[in-house]
Structures are given as structure tokens and as C-alpha cells.
A and B are shown apart, each in its own frame.
Chain A
Amino acid sequence: MKKKALFFPIAAAVLAMGLAGCGSQATGEKKAGAKSNYPTKAITMVVPFAPGGTTDSAARALAGLANKYLPNEQTVAIVNKDGGAGTIGMNDVVQAKPDGYTIGMATSGPITIKTHSKEVAYKPEDFKPIIQVVATPNVLVVKSDSPIKTYEDWLEYVKKNPNKFTYGTSGAGLTQHITMENLMTKTGVKVKHVPFKGGAPALTALLGGNLEGALVQTPEAIPHIEEGSLRPIWISGTFKPEELKDVPLLTEKGVDVEPDVWTGLMAPSKVPDDVVKVLHDSFQKALEDPAVIEQFKKIGTEPVYKSSEEFQKTIDNDYKENGKVLEAIGLK
């Protein structure tokens, strides 16, 4: 009886280890396609987030039309690898065979923020950027009954009341948090961070009068701004969305803080340049397809194209800037 009692837990543990072993072999592709004729089979696009989110929806919109523009009409298959704030999926991309048949839909977080953490096994230079497809700025909003109406009002208020202005974000250590920390070092103001899980709960707390402001991605705030319940104060990013044309960018106010939350395609760094060029050209055409623009619009975003070279520059710059901020706030 005693022996029986032990057998099953052990059997389960052995089974678990066996399964874990299988997983690590499964990612490699068997044969590399002839480069001149690339691609000769379907391309796998790893989305490092759960299905249904903005990144996933954008990836699916692109993948759905990519076969129209890829040579040999090859298709693109989406694989969702959620977990580790996007780092699990991107790690799969780094470890895939560099033949151009495994690419990843990367976002700024797992490439330029999480890579400063010791636990993440890859660095930004382990990737070759293909194309940036989406970029979203962040906007600081207050309740519409707040006395703060302009950037100047806000700056005056936070200078007079250090450590009083509370702002919600979608989570600690994410772009919005780092943006505000960067702004604090550059302007000398002091505000209080209140992290939530996602932009929507932060906005809920703001609407309920529990916070003074919130720094969220523009698509999350625009419906409430249009409804009249929230007021935009400033935008941090490289551009302004159509709906927020009158709101100032931080760079327009002389503050050098401009990271967008970007999304783009990346390949392992050893993928040959001519393969990257084929991918870039095909996805650039897909990105200009009216059907993709329409789909993007539905998920509250728009195509923001950058070439492989420009994209690389953005990544380098963000990685460096984020590193400085993370070091300053003791997260590195």
C-alpha cells in the first residue's frame, strides 16, 4: 500500500519532465528554404500575447492579407505564446532557426524594457527588425471637472504640490510608468504613481474620483474624451492621433520625452538580409492595403510605418533611454 501511494506522484512527475523535454525540440524547422526562392512554405508569426488583444488583432489583420503580397503566395500562421509580459514568445523567436520561417510580432515592452532584467535570456541585438507596423502615443487625462485645463496648469499644479498629483497606469514598469519617471527626472516635478492591471481599471478609478489623472494609451482614452467625461492634458509620443490634434506633445513643450508604444515584426538576428527584405517589402504592401487599414481602425489604432533601419534606431534609442530611467528608479 505504501509503495502504491508513492508510485503515482512519481509517475506524474516523470511524465511532466518527459513532456517538458519534448517542448524544447519542437520549435526548430527541419529544412531551410532556398534563399532565392524564399518563402517556399508557410511562415509562423509568434504573437507573445493572448488572442483577442490589440497586438493579436493587428497581427491577425496583417497575416490575413500577407499571402497576397508574399512571393509564391505563401501564408502566415499565427501562434499565440502568452506569458512573462511578452518575453516567453519573444524568447521562442530568438531560439528559432534563423531561416525566416519564424518571425515575431514584438512590442516595445519585451524588447526595450524587460531586456534590462536579468531573468530575460535575450537582448535587443538578438533580433533583426523587419518593419514597424503600429505605434501608439500615451495621453495624460484628468476628469473633466478638474481645474487643470492645459499643460501649463498641470505643470504649475504639480510644481506647487510635490508628491500630491496621483496618476494611474496599466501597470508598474510599463512604458507609461517609465515615461512619467523620465518626465520627472527631466522637469524636476514629483507625482505619485498608482499602478493598475490594465488601462481600463485605471480609468475606472479616475472616473470614480479616486485619482487625479491617468496616463494611458490614446485608444483607451479617446472614447471617454469624446463622451466628455475626461480631458486630455498632454501626449507623450512621436505623433498625435487625428482625434487629439489640439493636445500638445511633450516635445512641443520642450520636454524631450517621446516613446511610443510600438509594435513591429522582428526576426532572429542571424536571418539573412535578403530574406528580411522580402518580408519587409511584403508586409509594407500589406500595411498599405485598405482592408488592413480598415481592420486597424476597428481596433482603435492605425498603421505607423518605419523601415528596418528606422525601426532599429527607435529600438536602440528606447533601450538606452529606458535603461537610464530604470537605473534611476532602482529597477535595474
Chain B
Amino acid sequence: MESLDLLLNGFAQALTWQNLLFCIIGVSVGMFVGVMPGLGPVAGTAILIPLTYGMEPTSAIIMLSGIYYGAMYGGTITSVLINIPGEAASVITCIDGHQLARQGRAGVALGVSAIGSFVGGITALLGLAFIGPPLADFALRFGPPEFFSLMLLGLMMLIGLMGKSLIKGFIAAIFGLLLSFVGIDPVSGSTRFTFGLPEFFGGIDFVIVAMGLFGISEILYNADQKHRAEKPAKVKGMFPRKEEWAPTMKSIGRGTGLGFLIGLVPGANAVLSALASYALEKKVSKNPDSFGKGAIEGVAGPETANNATSGSSLIPLFTLGLPSSPTVAVILGAFIMHGLQPGPKLFRENADFAWAVIASMFIGNVILLLMNLPLANLWAKVAQVPYKILLPLIMMFTMVGAYTVKNSVFDIGLMMVFGVIGYFMKKLELPIAATVLTLVLGSQLESSLLQSLAISNGGAGIFFTRPISVTLLILTAVILVGTILAGMKNKKELFGTDIEI
């Protein structure tokens, strides 16, 4: 129970008025960058780092990590209300969250997300506090081959998003994979599919594609059918109906476990865990047809999972000094700038600091829950604003957002192009989420495949001789075969779910 003493000690430090203030500032800024499309947690933390130069290291890290997990809460809001993911991990939430908003249940979607995020975040922190080090050692065994198999499993789960037609789903998914090719070839370093434009060297930014395909296309699509009689229903509170509580809490439980485990894998991100959770929820649901039409489980599971992942991905940072995602890498930079070296030494030499930060994250999660539950109803009112006022505003915010990603006007134009593509994808009923997710996963899939093959001297055996990798591959095969068999038995059951996004 030594950890418990240390944790209580950490609380004593984190609860000084000064640290509490920085914690509140951090999570509020985090919420804000999460809500703003284009401004992600990476940019939010990076921009604020210079402000922390003069601060106490503990306060500085408390504030910066507040931005990190605060953004996960904020990203949900825009997904639900206006169908534009605030950050990558919230793409999945658009699917059912926005449907709920259209039924006047935006408050419920946001309320459930806040509760799920809280449970997922706190559980991950308990893991970080009590069982972090042994878990981190295990996670190190995830090398390129294991990562490749995990990504393959992730792609498999996309089937759950395919909607009416598997063919259309594949078209959308392959479009995303093709987009992920643009940029610099990860092995030779030569450029490919850049059309001679240096703007494409770094690949096509996910944020730009997501804002175009989801956001701009939504504006075009709505403007196109302007006199839709459908009036948004009244906001009906923020808690699920009585009979919905049990399945919701179960989803939150599953999302926590899944998200926590995925967060430990170096390089795996919250996008993957949200996707995996959505697929799992759809699989175990008694009523898979409701997915895509406003299933609460489709919001609760993924939202919980992405917060659990962002919490548990701090475990490799604190215990091994290894950042598992770009945002965590920025936080690592902040640690070093304040003279603290994350890794095994951190708990030995700066134990006070480490525990104060962990304690502050508990406090920050409570603050976020308290801020979000009452706000859920307030935010939900946004969905009631008439389209002719809301759409130009969204247009403005997305354009500013696209510019802020890299201070580049080119990106605004690129986003517009994707907006037009997204408009036609909606008209043709191609599932946009499949495109956006394969864009994120595609480049990771490719580099881990090529890394594995470089290590094995070109032999594919490396994927089948390593226990973790082969387990993941078998799992992928089982899902694939299971889906095909289920499809043969009842074609309707497989393709009957209509996802309108």
C-alpha cells in the first residue's frame, strides 16, 4: 500500500490553490481545443509550452496534461452536435452521437460521453498508479510485427462501419488507403503521389480530410436540401432512459478495458481503441440494427475507450520514458524542458512530482465531469440553432481551423476539395468514416509491415512465429470467417444496418 500513501501525498500537493488553478486552466483549454475543429491537443499543448517556462515544473505539467485529457472530452461535443469530429478519436462518435442529436437527445449523448470518459479516464489512472511498471514492460514486446497484426485486426473492424453495401464500404476504405500513400515513402525516402507539390511531402493531414469530408460536405448537403421540414426535437435531459442504463454501463465497462489495453501498446492511438470498441459494441449488442441510428452504446463504448487509452498511454511515458503518441511526445518534451526525465528514474528521483501529477489528473477528471454534465444541456441547445445561422458559422470555424493546422492557406483549399468529395460521397452513400479511418491506419499499417520485413530479411514468417502477433492474426481470421458465415446464413443481418453519416 506504499503507492496509496504516495498517492495521498500527491493529492496534498495537487490540491494547493495554485496547482488546482493550473489544473482548471489546463482542462478548460483542453476542452476548448477539443471543441475547435483543427486545433487538436498536439497544437494546444505545443503552443502553451513556452508559457510554462517560468512556472514550477509540477504546475506546468499539471496544466499541460490537463490540456491533453481535456481535449478528449471536448472533441466529443462537435461530433455530436454538428457532425464534425473535434479530434481524430471522435470520428466514431459522429456516427451514433449525431443521430442522437437529431432525435433531440444530444444531451443524452453528451451526458453519457462525459460519464464514460470519466470512468475510462479514472480507471486508466488507477492502472498508472498501481500496476503501471509491469504492464509497460509487457507492452515493450509489441514490436513492428505485432503492431502490423494489430492494425490488420483494426482494419477488420471497419466492416462494422460498412453500412448497406459492402462494396461501397470497400470503395470508401480503399479511397482512404490511397490517400495514405501520398507523401514520402517510409522506406526509401523518395516522394510519391505528390503531384510535384511540396505541400504533400508530409502526407495529407488527417484533420484537413476529416473537416472537409465530414464538415464542409455536411454544410453543402444541408444547404442542398434546404426546406427540410424536420424540426429538431426538444432537448430531453441528459440521462438515458431507465431501460437504457444497464446496456450503457456495460458498454462503458467494455470500453474501459479495451481502451486501457490498447493504450499500453506503443504507437497505438485513441482512434484505434474507439474503432475497436464500436465494433465490439455492435457485435455484442442484442439490437445491432440500431447502430448508426442513434444507439447509445455506440457513443458510450468508443467515448469511454478513447479516454481510457489517453490515460493508459501515459504509462509507457511515466515508466519507460517512451511517448506512445504525438501529444504524449509533446508532453515528454515539456518534462525534459523542466529538467525532469521520464522513465524508471522519475518515480525514484522525482516521486513527489510524479504522484502530484497523477493526483491532479484524478482531480482534473472530476472537474471535467462536473463541467460537462451541466454544460451538456447547454451545448445541446446549439443543435437547435436554425441551419441558416449555424452553417455559415461552422463554415467559418472550419476554415479558421484548417488554416491553424499548419498556418497554410493551401490546406483551406484542400479542405474545400475534400468537402466537395464528401458531398458526393454522401449523395452516393459511401461511408465517410471508413475513408477517414483507413487514412489514419493506412500509413501505420504500411510502415509496420515494411519495418517487419526489413527485420526478417523479407520473410513473412515473422508474423507467424511470434506469439502475440500470431494470436492477433488468428483473431482477425476468426472474425473474418465468422462474418462470412454469418453473412451466408442471413444476408440481411449483415448488411441490414444502415449507417447514415
Selected interface stretch from B154-162, B278-286, B405-413:
B405-413
Q: How far is the CA of A224 from the CA of B343 in the complex (A)?
A: 9
In the assembled complex, B457 has its CB within 8 A of some CB on chain A: yes
Partner of B457, one of A5, A83, A163, A299: A163
Look across to chain B and name the residue whose beta carbon is closest to the beta carbon of A295: B53
Partner of A8, one of B141, B197, B199, B423: B423
A119 with B419, Cβ < 8 A, contacts A20-B409, A53-B333 known: no
In the assembled complex, A300 has its CB within 8 A of some CB on chain B: yes
CB 8 Å contact bits of A168-182 with B (1 = contact, 0 = none): 000111100100000
CB 8 Å contact bits of B293-331 with A (1 = contact, 0 = none): 000000000000000000000001000111100000110
Whether A207 pairs with B412 at a CB distance below 8 angstroms is no
Q: How far is the CA of A119 from the CA of B201 in the complex (A)?
A: 9
Whether B224 pairs with A298 at a CB distance below 8 angstroms is no
Whether A195 pairs with B142 at a CB distance below 8 angstroms is no
A195 with B224, Cβ < 8 A, contacts A84-B201, A298-B338 known: no
Look across to chain A and name the residue whose beta carbon is closest to the beta carbon of B341: A223
List the B side residues contacting A200 at CB < 8 Å. Answer: 322-323, 329, 332
Residue of A12, A177, A198 contacting most chain B CB atoms (<10 Å): A12
In the assembled complex, A321 has its CB within 8 A of some CB on chain B: no
A57 with B337, Cβ < 8 A, contacts A12-B420, A16-B413 known: yes
In the assembled complex, B187 has its CB within 8 A of some CB on chain A: yes
Chain A: how many interface residues by the 8 Å CB criterion? 71
| Minimum Cβ distance to chain B for residue A95 (Å) | 13
| Minimum Cβ distance to chain B for residue A79 (Å) | 7
CB 8 Å contact bits of B254-282 with A (1 = contact, 0 = none): 00000000000011000000000000000
Look across to chain A and name the residue whose beta carbon is closest to the beta carbon of B222: A8
List the A side residues contacting B194 at CB < 8 Å. Answer: 119
In the assembled complex, A254 has its CB within 8 A of some CB on chain B: no
Selected interface stretch from A65-73, A133-141, A208-216:
A208-216
Whether B46 pairs with A50 at a CB distance below 8 angstroms is yes
List the B side residues contacting A118 at CB < 8 Å. Answer: 196
Chain B: how many interface residues by the 8 Å CB criterion? 72
Selected interface stretch from B124-132, B350-358, B447-455:
B447-455
A91 with B224, Cβ < 8 A, contacts A12-B216, A50-B46, A195-B451 known: no
In the assembled complex, B43 has its CB within 8 A of some CB on chain A: yes
Whether A9 pairs with B344 at a CB distance below 8 angstroms is no
List the A side residues contacting B141 at CB < 8 Å. Answer: 208-209
In the assembled complex, A88 has its CB within 8 A of some CB on chain B: yes
Whether A88 pairs with B408 at a CB distance below 8 angstroms is yes
Look across to chain A and name the residue whose beta carbon is closest to the beta carbon of B216: A12
- Total A-B residue contacts, Cβ distance less than 8 Å: 195
Q: How far is the CA of A120 from the CA of B200 in the complex (A)?
A: 11
Whether B185 pairs with A172 at a CB distance below 8 angstroms is yes
Chain A residues 2 to 34 lying within 8 A of chain B, measured CB to CB, are 4-5, 8-9, 12-13, 15-17, 19-20, 22-23
In the assembled complex, A60 has its CB within 8 A of some CB on chain B: yes
Q: How far is the CA of A265 from the CA of B453 in the complex (A)?
A: 40
Whether A85 pairs with B184 at a CB distance below 8 angstroms is yes
Partner of A51, one of B43, B200, B409: B43
| Minimum Cβ distance to chain A for residue B338 (Å) | 7
In the assembled complex, A52 has its CB within 8 A of some CB on chain B: yes
List the B side residues contacting A84 at CB < 8 Å. Answer: 198-202
Chain B residues 407 to 448 lying within 8 A of chain A, measured CB to CB, are 407-410, 412-413, 416-417, 419-420, 423, 447
Q: How far is the CA of A56 from the CA of B330 in the complex (A)?
A: 12
Whether A83 pairs with B202 at a CB distance below 8 angstroms is yes
In the assembled complex, B93 has its CB within 8 A of some CB on chain A: no
Whether A13 pairs with B333 at a CB distance below 8 angstroms is no
A194 with B321, Cβ < 8 A, contacts A57-B337, A81-B407, A209-B143 known: no
| Minimum Cβ distance to chain B for residue A131 (Å) | 22
Chain A residues 285 to 332 lying within 8 A of chain B, measured CB to CB, are 295, 298-300, 330-331
Partner of A195, one of B46, B143, B187, B266: B187
In the assembled complex, B10 has its CB within 8 A of some CB on chain A: no
Look across to chain A and name the residue whose beta carbon is closest to the beta carbon of B466: A210
Q: Which are the 9 A-B pairs with shortest beta-carbon distances?
A: A173-B189, A52-B46, A210-B143, A172-B189, A23-B409, A16-B416, A84-B198, A84-B201, A16-B413
Other A-B contacts than A50-B42, A88-B406, 10 sampled, CB-CB below 8 A, are A8-B219, A13-B416, A22-B409, A82-B406, A119-B198, A172-B184, A172-B185, A192-B457, A204-B140, A204-B316
Q: B residues touching A (Cβ–Cβ < 8 Å)? A: 42-43, 45-47, 49-50, 53, 140-145, 184-191, 194, 196-202, 216, 219-220, 223-224, 226, 266-267, 316, 320-323, 329-330, 332-333, 336-339, 341, 343-345, 406-410, 412-413, 416-417, 419-420, 423, 447, 451, 454-455, 457
